[in-house]
Amino acid sequence: MDFDQSEDRRMLAETLSRYLSDRYDIAARNAVAYDAPYHSPDRWAEMAELGILHALVDEDHGGMGGSGFDIATVFEELGRALCPEPILPALMGLRLLAAAGAELDPVLAGTDQIAVAIGEPEAPWDLDALETRARKAGDGWVLTGRKSVVYGGHVAGRLLVAAKTDAGLGLFEVLARDAEITPYGMIDGGGAAEVFLDATPARLLIADATEAIEAALNAGRVALCAEAVGAMDATKDLLLDYLRTRQQFGRPIGSFQALQHRAVDLVTEIEQARSITILAADALDGPEAGRRAAMAKNLIGRAARLVAEEAIQMHGGIAMTWEAAVSHYGKRLVMIDAQLGDTDFHLTRVMEGLQA
Amino acid sequence: MDLQFTEEELAFHEEVRAFLAADLPQDLAAKVRRSDTLSKADHDRWHAILNARGWLATTWPEEFGGPGWSPVQRHIFEEESARAHAPRTVPFGLAMLGPVLIRFGSKAQQAEYLPRILDGADWWCQGYSEPGAGSDLASLRTRAVREGDHYIVNGQKTWTTLGQHANRIFCLVRTDAQVKPQAGISFLLIDLDTPGIEMRPIKLIEGGHEVNEVFFTDVKVPVENLVGEENSGWTIAKFLLTHERTNIAGTGFSTQAFEEVKSLARARRVNGRRLIDDPLYAARLAQVEIDLEAMKITNLRMLARAQKTGQPGVESSMLKIKGTVIRQELNDLARRALGPAAAPFPAEALAGNAAVAPEEHRADAARYFNNRKLSIFGGSNEIQRNILTKALLEL
Ligand SMILES: Cc1cc2nc3c(=O)[nH]c(=O)nc-3n(C[C@H](O)[C@H](O)[C@H](O)COP(=O)(O)OP(=O)(O)OC[C@H]3O[C@@H](n4cnc5c(N)ncnc54)[C@H](O)[C@@H]3O)c2cc1C
**Which residue's C-alpha comes closest to atom 13 of ligand 1?**
B159
Answer yes or no: is A105 within a domain.
no
Residue A342 has what pLDDT? 97
What range defines the domain where residue A13 resides?
Answer: 7-88
Answer yes or no: is A100 within a domain.
no
Q: Is the dihedral of CA A269, A275, A279, A281 positive or negative?
A: positive
Task: Residue B359: name the closest of B264, B289, B279, B247 by CA.
Answer: B264
Count of A–B CB contacts within 8 Å? 153
* φ, ψ dihedrals at B302, nearest 5°: -70, -30
Does the pLDDT at position B246 exceed 80?
no
Instruction: Clarify whether residues A123 and A241 are in a common domain.
Output: no
Distance from CA of B15 to the nearest CA of A (A): 39
Answer yes or no: is A336 within a domain.
yes
Residue B273: CB partners within 8 Å, gap ≥ 6?
Answer: none
Which residues of B are catalytically annotated? 244
Instruction: Clarify whether residues A18 and A44 are in a common domain.
Output: yes
Instruction: Clarify whether residues A248 and A341 are in a common domain.
Output: yes
Residue B356 has what pLDDT? 86
Answer yes or no: is A221 within a domain.
yes
Cα dihedral B16, B17, B21, B25, rounded to 10, equals 50
Instruction: Clarify whether residues A79 and A159 are in a common domain.
Output: no
Q: Which domains does chain B have, with CATH numbers?
A: 7-89 (no CATH), 124-231 (2.40.110.10), 248-393 (1.20.140.10)
Distance in angstroms (rounded) separating the CA atoms of residues B205 and B203: 7
| Chain A residue with minimum CA distance to B382 | A258
- Which B residues, 254 through 293, put their C-beta within 8 Å of a C-beta on chain A? 269-272, 278, 280-281, 284
Question: Which chain A residues touch B159 with a CB distance below 8 Å?
Answer: 317
Instruction: Clarify whether residues A245 and A170 are in a common domain.
Output: no
Distance in angstroms (rounded) separating the CA atoms of residues A205 and A88: 20
The answer to whether B12 and B20 are in contact (CB under 8 A) is no
Tell which wins on pLDDT, A292 or B59: A292
At B211, is the secondary structure helix, strand, or coil? Answer: strand
Answer yes or no: is A94 within a domain.
no
Answer yes or no: is A305 within a domain.
yes
Residue B82: CB partners within 8 Å, gap ≥ 6?
Answer: B250, B252, B253, B255, B256
At B356, is the secondary structure helix, strand, or coil? Answer: coil
Answer yes or no: is A323 within a domain.
yes
DSSP string, B271-309: TTEEGGGSHHHHHHHHHHHHHHHHHHHHHHHHHHHHHHH
Q: Does pTM top 0.95 for this prediction?
A: yes
- The predicted model gives B130-152 an average pLDDT of 97
Q: Where residue B244 falls among pLDDT bands split at 50, 70, 90?
A: low
Residue B140 has what pLDDT? 98
Question: Which chain B residues touch A348 with a CB distance below 8 Å?
Answer: 278, 280
Distance in angstroms (rounded) separating the CA atoms of residues B209 and B211: 6
Residue of A187, A255, A351 to mutate, interface with B, max B Cβ within 10 Å: A187
The answer to whether A28 and A43 are in contact (CB under 8 A) is no
Residue B167 has what pLDDT? 98
Taking 70 as the pLDDT cut, the residues of chain A under it are: none
Residue ranges around ligand 1 (CB below 6 Å): A 246, 248-249, 253, 256, 258-259, 313-314, 316-317, 320; B 126, 128-129, 134-135, 159-161, 211, 373, 376-377, 380, 382-383, 386
CA angle B131, B135, B137 (to 5 degrees): 70
At A38, which CATH number? Answer: 1.10.540.10
Which domain-ending residue is among A208, A234, A254?
A208
CA of A195 to the centre of ligand 1 (A): 43
Residue A356 has what pLDDT? 75
Instruction: Clarify whether residues A332 and A218 are in a common domain.
Output: yes
Percentage above 70 pLDDT, chain B: 98
Could you tell me the maximum CA-CA distance found in chain B, to the nearest angstrom? 76
- Checking ipTM against 0.90, whether it exceeds it is yes
CA of A325 to the centre of ligand 1 (A): 18
Answer yes or no: is A96 within a domain.
no
Segment holding A169, helix H or strand E? strand A168-175
Across the interface, which of A186, A319, A322 has its CB nearest the CB of B345? A186
Ligand 1 atom with least separation from CA of B378: 17
Task: Give the mutation target among B88, B135, B371 for probing the ligand 1 site: most ligand atoms within 8 A of CB.
Answer: B135
Instruction: Clarify whether residues A320 and A222 are in a common domain.
Output: yes
Does the pLDDT at position B243 exceed 70?
no
Q: Classify strands A158-165 and A168-175 as parallel, antiparallel or unpaired.
A: antiparallel
**pLDDT tens column, A24-50:** 999 999 999 999 999 999 999 999 999
Distance in angstroms (rounded) separating the CA atoms of residues A169 and B124: 61
Residue B316: CB partners within 8 Å, gap ≥ 6?
Answer: B242, B245, B248, B302
Q: Encode burial over B318-333: b for 16+ CB neighbours within 10 A, e otherwise.
A: bbbbbbbbbbbbbbbb
**Helix, strand, coil percent values for chain B (each to nearest 5):** 55, 15, 30
Which domain-ending residue is among A154, A184, A208?
A208
Instruction: Clarify whether residues A218 and A337 are in a common domain.
Output: yes
At A139, which CATH number? Answer: 2.40.110.10
Long-range contacts of B1-8 (CB under 8 A, 24+ apart): B3/B297, B3/B300, B5/B72, B5/B76
Question: In total, how many domains does chain A have?
Answer: 3
Distances (CA, A) of B232 to B173, B190, B235: 11, 17, 6
The answer to whether A39 and A85 are in contact (CB under 8 A) is yes
Does the pLDDT at position B72 exceed 80?
yes
- The predicted model gives B123-133 an average pLDDT of 97
Residue of B35, B213, B271, B395 to mutate, interface with A, max A Cβ within 10 Å: B271
The answer to whether A117 and A150 are in contact (CB under 8 A) is yes
The residues pairing with B313 across neighbouring beta strands, listed in sequence order, are none
Distance in angstroms (rounded) separating the CA atoms of residues B173 and A67: 61
Instruction: Clarify whether residues A278 and A291 are in a common domain.
Output: yes
Distance in angstroms (rounded) separating the CA atoms of residues B237 and A287: 64
Residue B346: CB partners within 8 Å, gap ≥ 6?
Answer: A185, B207, B366
Contact B339 A335 (CB under 8 A): no
Segment holding B102, helix H or strand E? helix B98-104
Task: Residue B378: name the closest of B32, B12, B96, B86 by CA.
Answer: B96
Does the pLDDT at position B38 exceed 70?
yes
Distance in angstroms (rounded) separating the CA atoms of residues A305 and B45: 39
Instruction: Clarify whether residues A324 and A258 are in a common domain.
Output: yes
Segment holding B81, helix H or strand E? helix B71-83
State chain A's mean pLDDT as an integer: 96
With left for phi above 0 and alpha for psi between -120 and 50, is residue B208 left, alpha or beta? Answer: beta
At A261, which CATH number? Answer: 1.20.140.10
Instruction: Clarify whether residues A292 and A174 are in a common domain.
Output: no
**Which residue's C-alpha comes closest to atom 4 of ligand 1?**
B159
Q: Is the dihedral of CA A279, A281, A284, A286 positive or negative?
A: negative
Instruction: Clarify whether residues A191 and A227 are in a common domain.
Output: no
Peptide bond into B346 cis (omega under 30): yes
Q: Is the dihedral of CA B277, B280, B281, B286 positive or negative?
A: positive
- Which B residues, 133 through 152, put their C-beta within 8 Å of a C-beta on chain A? 134-136, 139
Which domain-ending residue is among A193, A208, A223?
A208
Distances (CA, A) of B70 to A222, B62, B63, B320: 57, 12, 15, 21
Distance in angstroms (rounded) separating the CA atoms of residues B123 and B127: 13
Distance in angstroms (rounded) separating the CA atoms of residues B368 and A94: 35
Distance in angstroms (rounded) separating the CA atoms of residues B355 and B333: 20
**pLDDT tens column, B331-381:** 999 999 999 999 998 766 677 777 888 888 989 999 999 999 999 998 999
